[in-house]
């Protein structure tokens, strides 16, 4: 009997120490992949300063990873079928570790962004495949425990990311936010192969949609570069930006046509014919984009204008995850008992309400005045994410579940990357506009300037002080305006979920990567 045939015979699940060991290494692999989506958030100012770049350019470190990861998520199913689930998982994990090492050794922002792209490409398959393998090694009666372990690491990692990133940047060197991945990836890769190779799947020569993949990379890449570089090139006054816009538009149109007509599309767009799935994707893209954009903006504002260290900015940002972890079991339990649309609506509206509360921020806020809304916001996250996944996958036909899961997570991840670029650009533009408006209103009669000079300040010192106050308030106004836009996106996302019909079946969310 051939080895490929023997793999078709179901193997018994692991037990005892081997099960615990395999579960922990799979959880660790998922942890580091998710961790890297947030660990650089509070480190952007430090990294940008060390590499001689602006904070706005530093956000490329976040978006490059997110876009690369988004591109490989839809390919995970094809890779696993073509090369084997365990083989792809272990290779991705080792490559993730090696690319993390390269990120830490980067000596320029361009090098770091390039290596972050490679890191994202390697990390994309880790989340879905770690979940798949956990379900394969656990006994069926303990499948809930497997999903619980996977979900817990997925929720805890974003919480730990800002804290770890802040502490490392303040106490060590920014490169260690990438170096910490290396031993975890290499050790788990070696032990994982020893423990899991018996669970390798049989190989199928599934054709790859090379044209569709190329078009996906072209239009996604062109759009992301356009958004990242537009503000520095005066947008469409620049020939480069106009060319990128044309490439993105033509690439996107070509991608749609090709994917809708190809027999083996890399992204099965036909699943959008299901109204429930389409409504769910709109909801998750808008809501996750609003959440991720606000999450990126918060540490930039705290570090650049509120005097926070990276550690304290990370602690404030990470507050969101505390109640998210605690409320996740309740959300999972309620999702199986109630109409998911109500849970999603309530969760996303809660996120919008808390974000709307944050629009009243000011420059005199204490740490807890900043952190408390973020802490409360965490309650809504599981009620948004957990039932929405089930709602989306229950709306498509059974054979389409894997394709739908990949497409939904591509939209979610790419939405976060787009939101990061838009928030960064809008924050700078709104700050300039608000500063110009305030400059025409502040101290028109010269009373404040006269008061300062009478107190012993020179005229230039008085002018500099007034300028600093105007800049600080302009940034605060711009920040609150963007929180308002994020709140509006949450509200629109909450309403969009009602476009979905009531689900008639329960989906297998084990494929929801």
Which residue stretches of 176-273 are H helix? 176-179, 181-196, 210-229, 239-261
d(CA 285, CA 70): 13
Comparing 139-148, 276-285, 413-422, 430-439, the range with the smallest average pLDDT is 139-148
d(CA 93, CA 119): 10
Collect all residues with Cβ–Cβ distance below 8 Å to 454 and sequence separation of at least 6.
none
pLDDT (0 to 100) of residue 374: 92
Distance CA 385, CA 378 (A): 11
Domain ranges of the chain: 1-207, 209-265, 274-513
200: Cα separation from own chain's centroid:
29
Q: How confident is the model at residue 406 (pLDDT cuts 50, 70, 90)?
A: confident
Q: How much is the pLDDT for 503?
A: 72
Q: Which CATH superfamily is domain 274-513 in?
A: MFS general substrate transporter like domains (1.20.1250.20)
Question: What does the pLDDT read at residue 493?
Answer: 94
> Average pLDDT for residues 317-327, to the nearest whole number?
83
CA distances from 14 to 139, 199, 268, 299 (A): 8, 10, 34, 43
| Residues 286, 493 contacting (CB under 8 angstroms) | yes
Q: What is the mean pLDDT of the chain?
A: 82
Q: Provide the CATH topology of domain 1-207.
A: Growth Hormone; Chain: A; (1.20.1250)
The residue-averaged pLDDT of 377-402 equals: 80
Band of pLDDT at residue 94, cut at 50, 70 and 90: very high
Distance of alpha carbon 450 from alpha carbon 503, whole angstroms = 68
Q: How much is the pLDDT for 93?
A: 93
Residues 6+ apart with CB under 8 A from 243: none
Q: What is the pLDDT, as a whole number, of residue 511?
A: 47
Confidence (pTM) = 0.79
């495949």: which residue's tokens?
A: 129
**CA nearest to 441, candidates 477, 413, 407, 483:** 477
Name the nearest CA neighbour of 89 among 136, 135, 126: 126
The pLDDT of residue 214 is above 80: yes
The structure tokens 């788990």 sit at 188
Q: Tokens standing for 251?
A: 């690439």
Confidence of residue 99 (pLDDT cuts 50, 70, 90): very high
Domains 1-207 and 274-513 belong to one CATH topology:
yes
The mean pLDDT value for 187-210 works out to 81
Report the candidate in 302, 300, 307 with the shortest Cα–Cα distance to residue 361.
302
Q: How many CA atoms lie within 13 A of 430 on its CB side?
A: 19
Cβ distance 383 to 347 under 8 Å? yes
């Amino acid at each position: 009997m051939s080895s490929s045939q023997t793999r078709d015979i179901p193997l018994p699940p692991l037990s005892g120490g081997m099960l615990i060991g395999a579960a922990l290494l799979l959880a660790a692999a998922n942890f580091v992949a998710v961790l890297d989506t947030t660990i650089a958030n509070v480190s952007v100012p430090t990294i940008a300063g060390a590499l001689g770049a602006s904070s706005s350019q530093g956000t490329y470190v976040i978006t490059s990873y997110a876009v690369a990861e988004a591109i490989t998520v839809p390919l995970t199913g094809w890779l696993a079928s073509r090369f084997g689930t365990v083989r792809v998982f272990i290779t991705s994990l080792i490559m993730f570790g090696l690319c993390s090492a390269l990120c830490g050794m980067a000596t320029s922002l361009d090098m770091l962004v390039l290596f972050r792209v490679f890191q994202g490409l390697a990390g994309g398959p880790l989340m879905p495949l770690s979940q798949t393998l956990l379900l394969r090694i656990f006994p069926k009666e303990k499948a809930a425990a497997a999903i619980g372990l996977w979900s817990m690491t997925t929720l805890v990692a974003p919480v730990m990311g800002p804290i770890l990133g802040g502490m490392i940047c303040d106490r060590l060197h920014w490169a260690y936010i990438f170096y910490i991945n290396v031993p975890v990836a290499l050790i788990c890769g070696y032990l994982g192969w020893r423990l899991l190779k018996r669970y390798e799947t049989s190989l199928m020569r599934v054709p790859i949609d090379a044209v569709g993949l190329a078009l996906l990379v072209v239009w996604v890449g062109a759009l992301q570069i356009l958004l990242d570089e537009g503000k520095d090139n005066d947008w469409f006054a620049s020939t480069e930006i106009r060319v990128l816009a044309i490439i993105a538009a033509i690439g996107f149109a070509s991608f749609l046509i090709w994917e809708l007509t190809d027999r083996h599309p890399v992204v099965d767009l036909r699943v959008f014919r299901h109204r429930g799935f389409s409504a769910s994707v709109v909801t998750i893209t808008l809501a996750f984009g609003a959440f991720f954009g606000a999450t990126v903006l918060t540490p930039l504002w705290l570090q650049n204008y509120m005097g926070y260290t990276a550690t304290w900015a990370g602690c404030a940002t990470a507050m969101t995850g505390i109640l998210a972890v605690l409320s996740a079991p309740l959300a999972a339990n309620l999702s199986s008992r109630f109409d998911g649309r109500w849970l999603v609506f309530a969760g996303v509206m809660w996120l919008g309400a808390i974000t709307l509360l944050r629009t009243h921020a000011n420059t005199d806020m204490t740490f807890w005045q900043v952190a408390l809304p973020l802490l409360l916001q965490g309650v809504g996250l599981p009620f948004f994410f957990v039932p929405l996944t089930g709602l989306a996958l229950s709306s498509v036909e059974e054979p389409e579940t894997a394709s739908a899961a990949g497409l939904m997570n591509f939209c979610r991840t790419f939405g976060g990357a787009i939101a990061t670029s838009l928030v960064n650009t809008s924050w700078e533009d709104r700050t300039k506009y608000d500063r110009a408006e305030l400059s025409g209103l502040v101290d028109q009669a010269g009373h404040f300037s006269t008061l300062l000079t009478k107190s012993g300040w020179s005229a230039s010192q008085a002018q500099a002080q007034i300028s600093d106050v105007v800049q600080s308030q302009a940034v605060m106004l711009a920040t609150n305006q963007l929180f308002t836009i994020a709140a509006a996106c949450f509200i629109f996302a909450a309403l969009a979920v009602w476009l979905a019909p009531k689900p008639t079946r329960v989906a297998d969310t084990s494929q929801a990567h």
